[in-house]
Amino acid sequence: MKSLMTIGYEGSTIDDFVKTLEVAGVQVLVDVRAVTVSRKKGFSKNGLAARLEKHGIRYLHAKHLGDPKPGREAARAGNYTLFRKIFGEHLATEDAQQAVRDVASIAQQQMTCLMCYERDPSTCHRQIVATQLKDYDLSSFDLFVDKKDRYELNPEKLPSHNIGKGPAAAEHRAL
């Protein structure tokens, strides 16, 4: 089974966020925000994509996997039952299902990480997307920016991507 990661940038700086992705060996960051503008410096779509490119990480925006406004409003109000219902209905649409298939295809080939704002994955729709990706033989691992030092000190505890044997695999595991 291949691995897929998730991450939220709430409470982090762009420097710590990118360092966490690097330490974890992320090759592709898939932004699953419906709205890719951020008041937090460095996290709006174009700036984030440019910053990641400098670090060898590909950026993709999967707009059809973003939480619709009513879902975001329900989550902000703490009504997670309604939030999950709204997002579940959205995720069942053909556009969202095509986006899931597209992400699965990428994640089968490269270490991929789903990104949204919320630090806690249990209150974020990215966890619902990650759960759906299990149907494509992908297991998820939640990254936390404030734990990047632990990841760096204990890389063996990070999931591998089962990328095989040889120098490229050894280099990936050495992260």
Domain containing 57 equals 2-165
Q: What is the pLDDT of residue 167?
A: 33
Q: Is residue 133 part of a domain?
A: yes
Q: Is residue 125 part of a domain?
A: yes
Q: Is residue 170 part of a domain?
A: no
55: alpha, beta or left, given left = phi > 0 and alpha = psi -120 to 50?
alpha
Cα dist from 14 to 48, 143, 165, whole Å: 8, 15, 33
> What share of the chain has pLDDT > 70, as a percent?
92
Q: Is residue 172 part of a domain?
A: no
Say which residues have a Cβ less than 8 Å from residue 54's Cβ, sequence separation at least 6: none
DSSP 114: E
- In which band, very low, low, confident or very high, does the pLDDT at 162 lie, cut at 50, 70 and 90? low
- Number of domain units in the chain: 1
Q: Is residue 104 part of a domain?
A: yes
Q: Is residue 117 part of a domain?
A: yes
Q: Is residue 144 part of a domain?
A: yes
DSSP string covering 139-158: EEEE--GGGHHHHHH-GGGS
Cα–Cα distance, 52 to 147 (Å, whole number): 19
β partners of residue 8:
116
β partners of residue 135:
none
pLDDT of 2 strictly over 60: yes
Cα–Cα distance, 3 to 112 (Å, whole number): 8
| Among 145, 151, 166, residue whose Cα is nearest residue 42 | 145
The pLDDT tens digits for 37-49 are 999 999 999 999 9
pLDDT of 60 strictly over 80: yes
Q: Is residue 173 part of a domain?
A: no
The pair of structure tokens assigned to 162 is 């089962």
